[in-house]
Structure 1
Amino acid sequence: MTKRLALISAIAGGLIAATAGLGYTASDDFDLSPQQKDRVRAEKSEKAIEAVSKDFKFISDGKLTIGLNPGNPPLSTYATDATTVVGYDVDLAQLVADSLGRELVLVPVTWADWPLGLQSGKFDAVISNVTVTEQRKEKFDFSTYRKDELGFYVKADGPIKSIKEPKDIAGLKVITDPGTNQEKILLAWDKQNVGNGLKPIEVQYYDDEAVKYLAIESGRADAVFSVNATQAYKAKVNGKTRLVGTVSGGWPITAEVAVTTRKGSGAADGITEALNELIANGKYKQVLDRWNLGSEAIDKAATNPPGLPNS
């Protein structure tokens, strides 16, 4: 059964006030300062530079221009000055720029606008949690850098201990995001359960993050199933939810997110080489751990690997 719940601004305000009263802030666990004094840096890699096609034209001489979508901590968000963009995607972009011997330039872009922005030459590459799919590979090249992982999160002191497979969600009230892979997976699991005679789930949707987490706190929902990276960040910051299971964003097959470049532009191999050197020297893992994303590490970056099939 699917149920769309109305948003209540007064409730959202109450949750924000309650969370503030606990004394938790993002800066307690993550450096959101514009200075980013602990940012990991890398040395220039001649091998990575040589792997970039001589025909590739950077947007600006001596610079690497990266498009990214702020607003999804810890991947990318605005610092305490409300101007500087910080986060895992920014740190990874810095490492790639360092490896290619270039100054990093960041261009904030909405999720809906990155494909056109990349194709029209507004930036050299996009680092914004873009999953490799066969459909996207028709227009873009990819250099993988992180697992596409979804997570089930529940109330920190609640009774649910593990959600690993379809039967574990039978009869639960689960919040997810409409029109996403996680919704598709959740509904597929529910269909399988019902076919096996198990109780159906109640799917809930919220447009407001504060109301979403109030639903978990109040018991109106049992779990949130969404992007693991952002959920892990929230759990670390407020201590009110905890992870009880992860699922690949491409379930039942594995999916990865990647640095995205223009199709046939010649940049992907150089970026992939840079990423593999960063994996080998440990700087890649340092950045993941800095943002509480160590569980999403990959063993090797690849250029244009098999992506999620066309639906």
Structure 2
Amino acid sequence: MGARRTGRLGAGWQGRLGVVLLAGWTVLAAQAVPAAAQEPAPANALRVCTPGDYPPYSVTDGAGAYRGVDIDLARGFADVLRRPLVFVPLTWAGLKTDFAALHCDIAVGGISDQPARRAFADFSIVYGTDGKTPITRRESGTDYATIEQINRPEVRVIANRGGTNEEFARKNFPAAQLTVWPENLTIFDEIEQGRADVFVTDAVEGRYRVRQHPDLQVLHPDKPFDSFAKVLLVRKDDPVLATALNAWLATQLATGAVDRLFEQWIGPTASAN
């Protein structure tokens, strides 16, 4: 399926890492949580912050219901911790300022490993990789397949505000006409309706979105413009939580559970919804 979910660690290393981390977490958790506690109180809820606008990682219906690869990972992790789960909305533009302010335990939603984000959060182990690739109308063919083709004064580029897509567009398409869109849920409609020519976003998202927008195409998703790691953010003051999350993710990677989640969303038998 191209660049998407192959982590930096091999399956053997993932398995061994999971065993080591799980052992360490068991000791730490035993020290931090009373042995008699069976059902955590609501005050002990795992606060999972997410923009909820980046399928297949995380998407919301607007009424507080979330679904996606990262959402399923968060639910599975909360189940392991035996803690109730609360999803907290935030924006990509506010990720830096709101992560601590909203008391996020973790943040999910297709988050890329960026050095600047280490200033306000710790990172989980890498659970996948992705890369930027163009989304255009099918009738455009390969007119916007390269950075050089896109970086022209007559080309209308669109990017969602505050995330790596906007950063990539500003860096690579200074000569193009750039529209910064306030969110990521309706941005594909702008291309489909001819109000923008191209949107450069994660290949995984492109693969998912073109199922919903048959007039659009994702160009060379197997050969994106770049490659970067996908991680979950963890609050800095909780090494027990970070150890537990890494142990659990390592196990999910080693058993192929993460790959199976992606296949449900963008595999050959996946539906548009």
Q: How far apart, CA to CA, are the structure 1 residues paired with 2:102 and 2:150?
A: 44
- Answer whether contact 2:44 2:84 (CA < 8 A) is retained: no
Q: How far apart, CA to CA, are the structure 1 residues paired with 2:203 and 2:132?
A: 5
- Trace 1:87-126 onto structure 2 (pairs within 5 A): 87-98=68-79, 100-111=80-91, 119=100, 122-126=103-107
Tell me if 1:132 matches 2:105.
no
The amino acid of 1:177's aligned partner reads N
Residue in structure 1 matched with residue 201 of structure 2 by the alignment: 226
Deviations 1:26-45 (A, max 9, x none): xxxxxxxxxxxxxxxxxxx8
Q: How far apart, CA to CA, are the structure 1 residues paired with 2:185 and 2:87?
A: 28
Q: How far apart, CA to CA, are the structure 2 residues paired with 1:64 and 1:211?
A: 29
Q: Deviation of residue 96 (structure 1)?
A: 2.4
Give the count of matched residue pairs: 238
Q: How far apart, CA to CA, are the structure 2 residues paired with 1:177 and 1:183?
A: 6
Cα distance change, pair 161–91 in 1 and its aligned pair in 2 (3 A): farther
The amino acid of 1:271's aligned partner reads L
Q: How far apart, CA to CA, are the structure 2 residues paired with 1:114 and 1:56?
A: 28
Residue in structure 1 matched with residue 215 of structure 2 by the alignment: 240
Residue in structure 1 matched with residue 13 of structure 2 by the alignment: none
Cα distance change, pair 107–136 in 1 and its aligned pair in 2 (3 A): same
- Answer whether contact 2:47 2:88 (CA < 8 A) is retained: no
| RMSD, aligned CA | 4.0
Q: How far apart, CA to CA, are the structure 2 residues paired with 1:222 and 1:156?
A: 11
- Answer whether contact 1:145 1:258 (CA < 8 A) is retained: yes
Tell me if 1:272 matches 2:246.
yes
Cα distance change, pair 180–245 in 1 and its aligned pair in 2 (3 A): farther
Q: How far apart, CA to CA, are the structure 2 residues paired with 1:130 and 1:243?
A: 20
Q: Deviation of residue 127 (structure 1)?
A: 1.7
Cα distance change, pair 131–104 in 1 and its aligned pair in 2 (3 A): farther
Q: How far apart, CA to CA, are the structure 2 residues paired with 1:210 and 1:62?
A: 31
- Answer whether contact 2:22 2:248 (CA < 8 A) is retained: yes
Q: How far apart, CA to CA, are the structure 2 residues paired with 1:176 and 1:64?
A: 31
Q: How far apart, CA to CA, are the structure 2 residues paired with 1:106 and 1:66?
A: 6
Residue in structure 2 matched with residue 40 of structure 1 by the alignment: none
Q: How far apart, CA to CA, are the structure 2 residues paired with 1:248 and 1:65?
A: 36
Q: Deviation of residue 114 (structure 1)?
A: 5.7
Alignment TM-score, normalising by the size of structure 2: 0.67
SS at match of 1:127: strand
Q: Deviation of residue 142 (structure 1)?
A: 0.7
- Answer whether contact 2:133 2:220 (CA < 8 A) is retained: yes
Q: Deviation of residue 50 (structure 1)?
A: 3.7
- Answer whether contact 1:56 1:265 (CA < 8 A) is retained: no
Q: Deviation of residue 244 (structure 1)?
A: 0.5
Q: How far apart, CA to CA, are the structure 2 residues paired with 1:133 and 1:56?
A: 31
2:228 to 246, 251, 255: 255
Q: Deviation of residue 113 (structure 1)?
A: 5.9
- Trace 1:204-219 onto structure 2 (pairs within 5 A): 204-207=179-182, 212-213=187-188, 215-217=190-192, 219=194
- Answer whether contact 2:104 2:235 (CA < 8 A) is retained: no
Residue in structure 2 matched with residue 284 of structure 1 by the alignment: 258
The amino acid of 1:91's aligned partner reads D
Deviations 1:62-112 (A, max 9, x none): 8644233334433333359x44322222111123234x3424502222226
Residue in structure 2 matched with residue 174 of structure 1 by the alignment: 157
Tell me if 1:186 matches 2:161.
no
Higher-Rg member (1/2): 1
Q: How far apart, CA to CA, are the structure 2 residues paired with 1:227 and 1:236?
A: 15
Deviations 1:113-168 (A, max 9, x none): 666665468443222333333333233211132335333111124322772x4323
Q: How far apart, CA to CA, are the structure 1 residues paired with 2:78 and 2:23?
A: 10
- Answer whether contact 1:67 1:114 (CA < 8 A) is retained: no
Gaps of at least 5 residues in structure 1 are 1-44, 192-199, 295-311
Q: How far apart, CA to CA, are the structure 1 residues paired with 2:95 and 2:69?
A: 18
Q: How far apart, CA to CA, are the structure 1 residues paired with 2:258 and 2:187?
A: 32
Gaps of at least 5 residues in structure 2 are 1-18, 34-39, 269-273
